[in-house]
């Protein structure tokens, strides 16, 4: 009892510190102290920041491999040796769309690839001849770990650091037959997410595959605007973003209740429009 009161008082004192002090403190705690394995300390220290500025908070944690970023790598990365049920389903849907459209991509981009685990799954299961695989992410630590593990496994996948908010820094004139962006757009507000969808579509030759959290009460396609979920990430209408950018939705899945590892599922597969 007295311990929990003491702890609450401790957190209240911590929240009294200005954000410009708490941000470096959170990074230091997570990076250089015995607490570094317990990233929730760092993110809890920034709870109010997460609620007030979800996009900036998400950028901070993913670019510093904090909190959810570290947990994600442990639970779903290459080392875990298993793809989450939701990504298994995404891969299955993707294969079905490729087959039904008779598409055989040669150049594949995964935008927001983490350590490249989903690309690796596709590299092994799609068996595309002479394909090139590129993964881009903002999380340098996940990329370094991924590069080591992919090289040891003899993979052809290349990983590089890149920010989806500054695509011109790394994408140049490149075009890809297949572009994946799974579980990433939720970390951007509606305007930025729509901009990224438009930009990715411009560099897509055959198929763009997007995924994000499903709205629990209504189909995302009927949302008039984006909403912020309990985990301080965004729930978007990706169908509308694709159409606004001139793309065409070919296939979609909206599955709000957690049949698959407790996650809601919302996938949108799109082709670039004529204007692209
Ligand atoms: C939930 S993980 C999803 C990883 C992978 N796409 C998958 O489906 O398993 C989100 C990824 O988006 C990346 N990310 C977040 N913001 C980003 C940005 N601005 N630019 C590039 N990647 C970003 C994170 O670093 C993280 O690896």
DSSP strands (E only) in the chain: 107-111, 132-137, 158-161, 176-182, 204-212, 227-228, 234-235, 248-260, 263-271
Mutate-to-test residue for ligand 1 from 71, 137, 143, highest number of ligand atoms within 8 A of CB: 137
57 pocket-lining for ligand 1 (C-beta < 6 Å): no
Residue 70 maps to a domain: no
Residue 104 maps to a domain: yes
Give yes or no: residues 44 and 123 share one domain.
no
- Which pLDDT does position 258 carry in this prediction? 61
Give yes or no: residues 168 and 48 share one domain.
no
pLDDT band at 36 (very low <50, low <70, confident <90, very high): low
Give yes or no: residues 201 and 82 share one domain.
yes
Domain coverage including residue 252: 78-271
Residue of higher predicted confidence among 22 and 213: 213
pLDDT band at 32 (very low <50, low <70, confident <90, very high): low
72 pocket-lining for ligand 1 (C-beta < 6 Å): yes
Give yes or no: residues 182 and 238 share one domain.
yes
Residue 71 maps to a domain: no
Residue 98 maps to a domain: yes
Mutate-to-test residue for ligand 1 from 82, 112, 118, 210, highest number of ligand atoms within 8 A of CB: 112
Check whether 35 has a pLDDT greater than 70: no
Residue 72 maps to a domain: no
- Which pLDDT does position 27 carry in this prediction? 81
- Which pLDDT does position 10 carry in this prediction? 75
- Which pLDDT does position 34 carry in this prediction? 57
Check whether 4 has a pLDDT greater than 70: yes
Question: If you average pLDDT over residues 253-273, what whole number do you get?
Answer: 84
Q: Residues 235, 227: contact at Cβ < 8 Å?
A: yes
Check whether 1 has a pLDDT greater than 70: no
- Which pLDDT does position 46 carry in this prediction? 86
Per-residue pLDDT tens over the stretch 233-248 = 999 999 999 999 999 9
Give yes or no: residues 47 and 84 share one domain.
no
Give yes or no: residues 129 and 192 share one domain.
yes
Give yes or no: residues 45 and 105 share one domain.
no
Residue 73 maps to a domain: no
Give yes or no: residues 82 and 200 share one domain.
yes
- Which pLDDT does position 26 carry in this prediction? 82
Q: How far apart are CA 238 and CA 247, in angstroms?
A: 11
Helix (H, G, I), strand (E, B) or coil at 139: coil
* CB within 8 Å of 108: residues ≥ 6 apart: 119, 122, 128, 131, 132, 133, 134, 176, 177, 178, 179, 180
CATH number for the domain including 248? 3.40.50.150
pTM of the model: 0.92
Nearest CA to ligand 1 atom 9: 118
The domain tally of the chain equals 2
- Burial label for 223, CB within 10 Å (0-12, 13-18, 19+), is middle
Mutate-to-test residue for ligand 1 from 55, 114, 134, 231, highest number of ligand atoms within 8 A of CB: 114
Give yes or no: residues 95 and 188 share one domain.
yes
Give yes or no: residues 120 and 248 share one domain.
yes
Instruction: Choose one of 13, 36, 52: the last residue of a domain.
Output: 52
Check whether 205 has a pLDDT greater than 90: yes
pLDDT band at 108 (very low <50, low <70, confident <90, very high): very high
Residue found under tokens 């993913």: 62
- Which pLDDT does position 196 carry in this prediction? 98
Residue 174 maps to a domain: yes
Question: If you average pLDDT over residues 133-144, what whole number do you get?
Answer: 96
Per-residue pLDDT tens over the stretch 52-62 = 899 999 999 89
- Which pLDDT does position 231 carry in this prediction? 84
Ligand 1 mean position, distance from CA 215 (Å): 20
Question: If you average pLDDT over residues 126-155, what whole number do you get?
Answer: 94
Give yes or no: residues 109 and 232 share one domain.
yes
Ligand 1 mean position, distance from CA 137 (Å): 6
Check whether 219 has a pLDDT greater than 90: yes
Q: Which of 236, 209, 205 is nearest to 222 (CA)?
A: 236
Residue 61 maps to a domain: no
Q: Average pLDDT over the chain, rounded to whole?
A: 90
Residue of higher predicted confidence among 67 and 210: 210
Give yes or no: residues 86 and 47 share one domain.
no
- Which pLDDT does position 214 carry in this prediction? 95
- Which pLDDT does position 40 carry in this prediction? 66
Check whether 38 has a pLDDT greater than 70: no
């Amino acid at each position: 009892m007295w311990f929990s009161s003491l702890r609450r008082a401790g957190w209240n004192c911590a929240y009294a510190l200005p954000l410009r002090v708490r941000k470096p403190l959170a990074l230091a705690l997570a990076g250089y102290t015995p607490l570094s394995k317990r990233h929730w300390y760092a993110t809890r220290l920034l709870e109010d920041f997460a609620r007030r500025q979800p996009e900036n908070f998400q950028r901070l944690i993913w670019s510093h491999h904090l909190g959810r970023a570290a947990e994600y790598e442990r639970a779903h990365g290459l080392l875990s040796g298993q793809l989450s049920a939701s990504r298994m389903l995404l891969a299955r849907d993707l294969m079905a769309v490729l087959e039904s459209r008779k598409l055989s991509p040669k150049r594949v981009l995964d935008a927001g690839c983490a350590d490249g685990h989903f690309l690796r799954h596709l590299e092994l299961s799609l068996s595309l001849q002479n394909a090139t695989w590129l993964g881009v992410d903002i999380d340098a630590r996940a990329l370094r770990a991924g590069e080591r593990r992919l090289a040891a496994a003899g993979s052809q996948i290349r990983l590089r650091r890149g920010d989806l908010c500054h695509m011109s820094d790394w994408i140049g004139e490149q075009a890809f037959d297949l572009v994946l962006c799974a579980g990433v757009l939720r970390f951007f507000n509606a305007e930025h997410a729509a901009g990224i969808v438009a930009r990715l579509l411009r560099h897509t030759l055959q198929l763009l595959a997007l995924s994000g959290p499903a709205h629990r009460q209504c189909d995302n396609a009927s949302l008039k605007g984006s909403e912020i979920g309990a985990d301080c990430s965004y729930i978007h209408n990706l169908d509308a973003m694709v159409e606004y950018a001139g793309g065409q939705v070919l296939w979609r899945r909206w599955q709000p209740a957690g049949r698959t590892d407790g996650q809601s599922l919302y996938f949108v597969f799109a082709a670039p429009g004529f204007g692209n």
